[in-house]
Amino acid sequence: MTSTLPTGASSPGTAAARAGYTIVDTDIHPSAPAAEIRARLSGAHRERWDMFGGRVPNPPEFYPRVRNAGFRLDSWPEAGGIPGSDLGTTQAQLLDEFGIDHGVLIPLQGHTFGAEEPRYSAALSGALNDWLAEEWLTPEPRLRSSIAIPTESPDLAAEEIARRAGDPRFVQVLLPTGGETGFGSRRYWPIYRAAAEAGLPVAAHTGGIEQHRGAGWPSFYLEEHVWNGNVMAALVTNLLCDGVFEEFPSLQVICVEGGVVWAAPLMWALDEAWPRLRADVPHLRKPPSEYLREHLWFTTQPIEEPDDSRHLTTALEHVGMTDRIMFASDYPHWDFDSPRLAPRLFPSDAREQIMGANACRLYGLPARATEATR
C-alpha cells in the first residue's frame, strides 16, 4: 500500500512520470451523493428514500473501526461531499496524476443497494447506474463502470444487466462477496446467465451485507482487513463446487480486492481431494484447478507484500496466472496503491501485462498508442 501525502503536498508531474505502457486501474470507487440518487428515483421509491433511507449503512458509515472513514486524507473534495463523489478530484488525483489510460469504476453503494426489498433494490441500482453514466462516464471517456445490480433479487438483476449490456461503457457486473447465502447457489444463477449472455465478466468485490465470512464479526479492523483473501477463497470454492463454472462455461469472474497468492494453495488442496471425493461433486468433470485457471481473474490491491519481493514472485509462479492479474489502486481508500510505485512489486516479465495489457484484453480496451506504433 502507498502512504497518503500530507494535505497540500505536491507530487511529481504527470507528463514526466508517464509510464511507457498502458495503465488500467481496475478498482476505483465512486460514491453517489444521496441527493443524486434521490433525484433519479420516482414515486413510491422516492417517498421510501425520504422516509426510511437504506437498509444497510452506506460508506463511510460502515467503516467504524478505521480512522477517516477509510479514505485517503487528501481525497475529500474541496467543494464538499465524501471521497469518490467528485469526478474532478478523481481526475486530478488519479487519472491525470498517474497518466492512467483507463479506469474501471466499482460503486460500493451497489453492495448495499443490492440487498434492499426487491423493487426498491432495483430502483436504487438503476439510479446508481444512471448517475454513473451521466455524471462520470459521459464526461470522462477514460472511465468504464461496473453494473450495480439488485443482487438478492436475481431475476431483477438479470433485467438490469440486459438493460445496460448494450452500453459499452459498462464492462462488468458487480457482485459482493457477502450475500444472504453462498453465491454458488442456483438462486443466483440468473445473474451469471445474464452476464454470460451479455459477454460481461462478473467482478466479485469484497463486502456486502456480510463483510466478514466466518463465525461472528471481527473485533479489530486489522482482523477484517487481512481476511479478504480468505473471503475470496470461500466465494470461489462455493462457485466451483456448486457447478457455476460447469453451467456457464464462458463466464469470467474477477476477484477484486482479495489478494492473489491464496489461489495456489487452494488449487493444490482442491486437486488433491477431488479424486477421492468425486462422488460428492459428480458435476465437476475435470480437476478444480482447471476451472479456476479458465474462469478467474485477480486484481492487485491489496496484493500480499512480503519483506523479500522474491517471495511474492515465487508465490505468483505457483498461482501461474500472471496473464489474469490486473492492477488496482483502490482509490480513494487509505490503502491506495500508487500506479507509480506498485509495479516494483510485480515480476519484471509480467509488469506490463499486470499494469494494463491483461485488463485491455479482458475488457476490450485499446492499448496506449506509443511512439513506435504511431
Least confident piece of the model among 36-40, 53-57, 203-207: 53-57
pLDDT of residue 215: 67
Q: Considering only residues 79 and 234, tell me which one the structure prediction assigns the higher pLDDT.
A: 234
pLDDT of residue 373: 60
Residue 303 CB burial class (10 angstroms; 0-12, 13-18, ≥19): buried
- pLDDT above 80: residue 4: no
Q: Where are the beta strands (DSSP E) in 188-321?
A: 202-208, 253-256, 296-299
pLDDT of residue 1: 64
Question: Which residue is associated with the grid cell 421510501?
Answer: 48
Query: Alpha carbon of 210 to those of 49, 62, 182, 206: distances in Å?
Result: 23, 11, 11, 10
pLDDT over 70 percentage in the chain: 89
Per DSSP, 135 falls in state I
Per DSSP, 253 falls in state E
pLDDT of residue 16: 44
**Mean pLDDT calculated for residue range 259-278:** 97
AA letter at 71: F
Instruction: Show Cβ contacts of residue 56 under 8 Å, excluding neighbours closer than 6 positions.
Output: 62, 111, 112, 115, 209
Per DSSP, 233 falls in state H
**Mean pLDDT calculated for residue range 252-266:** 97
| Mean pLDDT of the chain, nearest integer | 90
- For residues 259 and 229, is the Cβ–Cβ distance under 8 A? yes
pLDDT of residue 334: 86
- pLDDT above 50: residue 6: no
Q: Considering only residues 64 and 122, tell me which one the structure prediction assigns the higher pLDDT.
A: 122
Q: State the pLDDT confidence band at 15, using cuts at 50, 70 and 90.
A: very low
- For residues 237 and 291, is the Cβ–Cβ distance under 8 A? no
Q: Could you read off the pLDDT of 279-305 as tens digits, one per residue?
A: 999 999 999 999 999 999 999 999 999
- pLDDT above 50: residue 12: no
Q: Considering only residues 224 and 172, tell me which one the structure prediction assigns the higher pLDDT.
A: 172
Q: Considering only residues 60 and 355, tell me which one the structure prediction assigns the higher pLDDT.
A: 355
- pLDDT above 90: residue 142: yes
Q: Considering only residues 82 and 233, tell me which one the structure prediction assigns the higher pLDDT.
A: 233
pLDDT of residue 218: 75
Q: Could you read off the pLDDT of 40-87 as tens digits, one per residue?
A: 999 999 999 999 887 766 555 555 556 777 888 888 888 888 889 999
**Mean pLDDT calculated for residue range 146-168:** 97
Q: CA 232, CA 221: separation in Å to the nearest integer?
A: 18
pLDDT of residue 217: 73
Angle at 205 between CA 200 and CA 210, to 5 degrees: 130
**Mean pLDDT calculated for residue range 108-118:** 93
Q: CA 130, CA 328: separation in Å to the nearest integer?
A: 24
Q: State the pLDDT confidence band at 374, using cuts at 50, 70 and 90.
A: low
Q: Specify the length of the chain in residues.
A: 374
Nearest CA among 128, 148, 245, 228 for reference residue 189: 245
* Positive or negative: CA dihedral 73, 75, 77, 80: negative
